[in-house]
Structure formats: structure tokens, C-alpha cells
Amino acid sequence: MSSSEKPQIIDDDDHIRGLLRSVLEKAGYQVVEAPDGKVGIELFREQSADLIITDIIMPEKEGLETIMEIRRESPDVKIIAISGGAKVGPFTYLKLAEKFGAERVFSKPLEMRQLLQAIRELLEEKTT
């Protein structure tokens, strides 16, 4: 892994975003954060990212719309969708996220080891 790999975290929950940032920075990544899909897409256009981790349920622009927009603009970027599910449960949204282009999906609460493993595998695929 090179320290130039930049994952972007898009989540409206400050606590989740901070936790993910801390875990990813300890693993050697340069992290970009956004509180919702609207800001996330603006930052992605400015700074690009090798991998996006996006929540599904957010204000402004929710995750499914964010995934579709990023996928249209940058078909090669790797996307991981995460969801706590709201009223219908996370699996409904996560199945849709896969249909819209997320390579991996995780329900909250997140298992950090599995998430880090998925990030490593997706970034390796990108470089091979």
C-alpha cells in the first residue's frame, strides 16, 4: 500500500466518520471526509479518491444517488456502501447499493477488520 491512496468517507454521523477516519489513518491512508453526498461529490471532483465509503441514509444527497453519480463520472473508482438501515433494515438499501455499483456493502455496526480487508482488496484490484 502506498500512503498516496486516498479513501473518502461520506457519512452524516460525525462519530462514525471520525471512527472510520481514525482506523484508516492508523492503517496508513490519507482520508478525505464529507458529511453528505452533496459535499462528498464536490470533494471527489476536486481531490479525487481511490475508494469511496458512503453511508446510504443521509440528508442533502443520500448514498444511492451519490453512488450513481460517482459511478457515472468515474466508473473505475471503488465504492463501499454502509448502512444502519433506518426503518426497512440495512439489507434492502445495501442490495440496491450493489445494483447501483458498490463493490462491497456492510451493515452498521461495522466490523473494522472486515472493512479494512475489503479496502485493501479493492485498492489492490485497482492497481493490478
**What digits encode the pLDDT tens for the residues 37-85?**
999 999 999 999 999 999 999 999 999 999 999 999 999 999 999 998 6
Residue for grid cell 459511478? 71
Tell me whether residue 87 is exposed, middle or buried, using C-beta atoms within 10 angstroms of its C-beta: 0 to 12, 13 to 18, 19 or more.
exposed
Lowest mean pLDDT among 18-27, 96-105, 106-115, 119-128: 119-128
Query: What is the distance between the alpha carbons of residues 77 and 79, in angstroms, rounded to a whole number?
Result: 6
Domains by residue range for the chain, with CATH: 7-127 (3.40.50.2300)
In terms of pTM, does the model score above 0.85?
yes
How many angstroms separate the Cα of 21 from the Cα of each of 53, 68, 76? 11, 24, 23
Copy the grid coordinates of residue 77.
473508482
Cα angle 128-25-74, degrees, rounded to a multiple of 5: 45
Percentage above 90 pLDDT, the chain: 81
